[in-house]
Amino acid sequence: MSSLDLSGCKKRKREERTFRFQSFGEKGCPIEFDGSSFIENLKRLLECGQVEGSWGSGFPTWSFQMEISRQPPIYKLLWVVEEDVNALSGRYCKHCLYVGWGENLICNKKYHFLLPFKESNAKEVSLNYGDDDDADHYHPTRPMHGIIHSNGFGHLLCINGVELGSELPGFQIMDFWDRICTGLRARKVSLIDTSLKRGMELRLLHGLAYGEPWFGSWGYKFSRGSFGITPPMYKKAIETLQGIPLLLLTNLSDTIISDHEIPMILSRYQSFSNHSLVTLGDIFHFMSQLEKRIPKDNININIDPISTSGGLPGASCRWSSKRVEMATRVIVDALKKVRYRWISRQEVRDAARAYIGDTGLLDFVLKSLGNHIVGNFLVRRCLNPVTKVLEYSLEDMSKLHPSQDLNIARPSSITRGQVMKDMACLYKFIFGQTCNPNVNNNNNNNTVLAMKRVVLDSKHFIKEYNLEIPSEAEGKVGLFCTVSWKGSSSAHPPYECFMLQENTTVDDLKFKVEATFQELYWGMKGFAAESVVNINGKGADLVLGKVHAGTELIVEGRLGPEMAGEGIYEGSMAMKSKIVECACGAIVDDGERMVTCDICEVWQHTRCVGIPDDEPVPSIFLCKICEARILLSPSLL
Ligand SMILES: [Zn+2]
Ligand SMILES: [Zn+2]
Ligand SMILES: [Zn+2]
């Protein structure tokens, strides 16, 4: 474990560039992101950052000053740390191993992307250097920490939203992370979903409501569960839980005297909804949508249309509600065009004037609009503390509740806190009743608990980015190349994209590929390219003309002599030293707690062999097979 001291970085230079948090990572913000690989884009991005020298960690560090909001002005720094695998005691990445990327070649560099908490608290940001301290994952030490290896495979280690003290909500941080990964051309990114929401497991709660994890909104999909859980098992478990009839809960709660609350909750939400809620999936979906719809902050949000009575009893304004509605839409459109920036009242007025001739109507609507929900948007209004000018901006609420139609009958008659409380109560009733003797011998209940276990054991999610040939390539043609060498496994390292010019020869390509793979991978430092296998030509022959854009080529060569016998794959060490064979079906280390048999040295999950999670691993342990053998031949003792 090493640490990066950020305390000395408080004094920011005045002229330092500031980037908009909301658009950072998009095309042009701050670079075009048109490089053909992750590493190429990253190098260009780092040129825009502030060089911070190597803080305590000893690794090159850059920072980017982000403007989170203008009103009130909030800035945050994004840190990028370049970690050199040669400087590490353990060069293997356990995240790669646990997610099933043990066959990936070890990369030379690993880039950390960090958003620390408020700067005043950011005395130290510690980096986890692949030691065995699993507790560091998802530890609320920072709003965001992700790493990307130089080949574009990465891991999102933590996201901590408002609930854990960040000034930013989790979904905004996720958007930010996803924009960075997309822009830089990350290849695959994994994460472990162990997040909690008010004490409820988010993957269970979100799975019930939406049939996928919370991270599914950004394209993360189930990839691998612990304890041998497979994708079909996960899917089945989610569907079973979602499909549980609410009727069953009502019957169940009747048997428990103290639980009159459950039928009350069920009928409460049924009365809010315009369609009938039949299953557990229905009600969790509805409650979750409702909770998102009710604003978090204390500003007075108006969900009603602008009153044409002018707010004064008896008085009525000069315009029909239809015209007021039309003017409101024009203003919202004008705010949409400036991409959610804050703009002055005058600017909004000027933009809307092109469509509305009646300035009286315009001024009336501008005066009345303020913290109103219009369709899927919240129109915010506030006085710029510096210029003392009234400003407007738009907030996209559809991000908060993706499904358009909420079908809510009376949304204003319940608070967000109440919805959360009811959700937690329902959750606890369904999943937290293992010790209840009244329901323990119930078959349905056993099924629920088994399905819950499956969902909770499904933690690894992966997003695969769609990598096409970058479009900005005047006069160039994109090819995909990889390498192979004597003794290499049939699985090649992933193809890299190369943009070739018309006069590129086979030799040029060969050396380009050699240099690229040498730069990327630790085990390929001494790699010498010999020939391009699947091309009809060599030496000074031109590549283009022989192959078309998008062709996949393999360059064959030799590994450097110093790499003979070295473990060059992320999983080399683990595969050699840790044989896993567990009753649950697991045959590789999935990061769950394990125990090794002192005779045959095979590893098994502590949970699967019956050691409770809150008990320490025994110092001596025999697996079932070895134990049986000993019992059969007592002479061995
Ligand atoms: Zn990794
Ligand atoms: Zn197991
Ligand atoms: Zn054994």
133 C-beta neighbours (distance < 10 Å), count? 11
Residues lying with their CB under 5 A of ligand 2, a single-atom ion: 227, 582, 584, 586, 605, 608
Nearest-ligand number for the alpha carbon of 225: 2
Phi, psi of 467 (to 5 degrees): -105, 105
Nearest-ligand number for the alpha carbon of 629: 3
Please write the tens of the pLDDT for every residue from 7-17.
444 455 556 78
Distances (CA, A) of 438 to 161, 256, 415: 39, 7, 33
Please write the tens of the pLDDT for every residue from 145-168.
999 999 999 999 988 877 666 778
Nearest-ligand number for the alpha carbon of 229: 2
Phi, psi of 61 (to 5 degrees): -135, 140
Whole-number Å distance, alpha carbon 57 to ligand 3 midpoint, is: 42
Whole-number Å distance, alpha carbon 595 to ligand 2 midpoint, is: 10
pLDDT range class, residue 437, cuts 50, 70, 90: very low
Calpha distance 556→217 (Å, rounded) = 41
Phi, psi of 115 (to 5 degrees): -115, 110
**Does residue 83 register a pLDDT over 80?**
yes
**CA 430 from chain center: how many Å?**
28
Nearest-ligand number for the alpha carbon of 596: 3
Distances (CA, A) of 1 to 57, 445, 451, 595: 9, 44, 37, 24
Whole-number Å distance, alpha carbon 604 to ligand 3 midpoint, is: 10
* Two tokens, residue 115: 């958003």
Calpha distance 114→505 (Å, rounded) = 42
Whole-number Å distance, alpha carbon 108 to ligand 1 midpoint, is: 12
Calpha distance 435→428 (Å, rounded) = 12
Whole-number Å distance, alpha carbon 224 to ligand 1 midpoint, is: 15
| Residue 165, H or E segment | none
Which pLDDT value is given to residue 602?
Answer: 93
Contacts of residue 633, defined as CB under 8 A and 6 or more positions apart, other chains included, come to: none
Bridge pairing between strands 18-20 and 2-5: unpaired
pLDDT more than 70, % of the chain: 80
Whole-number Å distance, alpha carbon 126 to ligand 1 midpoint, is: 17
3-state secondary structure of 581: coil
Whole-number Å distance, alpha carbon 453 to ligand 1 midpoint, is: 27
Question: What end-to-end distance do the CA atoms of the chain give, in Å?
Answer: 43
Whole-number Å distance, alpha carbon 578 to ligand 3 midpoint, is: 13
Calpha distance 22→406 (Å, rounded) = 26
pLDDT range class, residue 180, cuts 50, 70, 90: very high
Which pLDDT value is given to residue 322?
Answer: 85
Residue listed under structure tokens 């430092």: 525
3-state secondary structure of 447: helix
Nearest-ligand number for the alpha carbon of 611: 2
Whole-number Å distance, alpha carbon 454 to ligand 2 midpoint, is: 13
Contacts of residue 313, defined as CB under 8 A and 6 or more positions apart, other chains included, come to: none
Which pLDDT value is given to residue 300?
Answer: 47
Whole-number Å distance, alpha carbon 598 to ligand 3 midpoint, is: 7
Nearest-ligand number for the alpha carbon of 628: 3
3-state secondary structure of 111: strand
pLDDT range class, residue 306, cuts 50, 70, 90: low
pLDDT range class, residue 463, cuts 50, 70, 90: very high
Whole-number Å distance, alpha carbon 594 to ligand 3 midpoint, is: 13
365 C-beta neighbours (distance < 10 Å), count? 24
Nearest-ligand number for the alpha carbon of 626: 3
Q: Which residues on neighbouring strands pair with residue 154, listed in sequence order? A: 148, 189
Nearest-ligand number for the alpha carbon of 228: 2
Q: What is the DSSP letter of 395?
A: E
Whole-number Å distance, alpha carbon 628 to ligand 3 midpoint, is: 9
3-state secondary structure of 607: coil
Determine the longest span between alpha carbons in the chain, in angstroms: 103
Whole-number Å distance, alpha carbon 626 to ligand 3 midpoint, is: 4
Calpha distance 341→51 (Å, rounded) = 28
pLDDT range class, residue 403, cuts 50, 70, 90: very low
Which pLDDT value is given to residue 398?
Answer: 62
* Two tokens, residue 379: 């129109």
Nearest-ligand number for the alpha carbon of 604: 2
Which pLDDT value is given to residue 164?
Answer: 67
Calpha distance 460→462 (Å, rounded) = 7
Whole-number Å distance, alpha carbon 153 to ligand 1 midpoint, is: 7
Looking at residues 539-546, what average pLDDT do you find? 82
**Does residue 561 register a pLDDT over 70?**
yes
Whole-number Å distance, alpha carbon 154 to ligand 1 midpoint, is: 6
73 C-beta neighbours (distance < 10 Å), count? 10
Whole-number Å distance, alpha carbon 510 to ligand 1 midpoint, is: 28
Please write the tens of the pLDDT for every residue from 569-613.
888 877 777 889 999 988 888 889 999 999 999 999 999 999 998
Calpha distance 192→145 (Å, rounded) = 12
**CA 484 from chain center: how many Å?**
33
Q: Is the pTM of this model over 0.85?
A: no
Query: Peptide bond before 30: cis, by omega within 30 degrees of 0?
Result: yes
Whole-number Å distance, alpha carbon 130 to ligand 3 midpoint, is: 28
Whole-number Å distance, alpha carbon 227 to ligand 3 midpoint, is: 19
Nearest-ligand number for the alpha carbon of 592: 2
pLDDT range class, residue 248, cuts 50, 70, 90: confident
**Does residue 187 register a pLDDT over 90?**
yes
Tell me the chain's radius of gyration from C-alpha atoms: 29
Spatial CA neighbour of 86 closest among 59, 64, 116? 59
Spatial CA neighbour of 391 closest among 343, 348, 339, 333? 343
Looking at residues 272-277, what average pLDDT do you find? 82
Whole-number Å distance, alpha carbon 599 to ligand 3 midpoint, is: 5
Calpha distance 173→167 (Å, rounded) = 10
* Two tokens, residue 198: 């008010």
Whole-number Å distance, alpha carbon 432 to ligand 2 midpoint, is: 23
Calpha distance 575→51 (Å, rounded) = 39
| Residue 138, H or E segment | none
2 C-beta neighbours (distance < 10 Å), count? 14
Nearest-ligand number for the alpha carbon of 599: 3
Looking at residues 59-83, what average pLDDT do you find? 86
3-state secondary structure of 20: strand
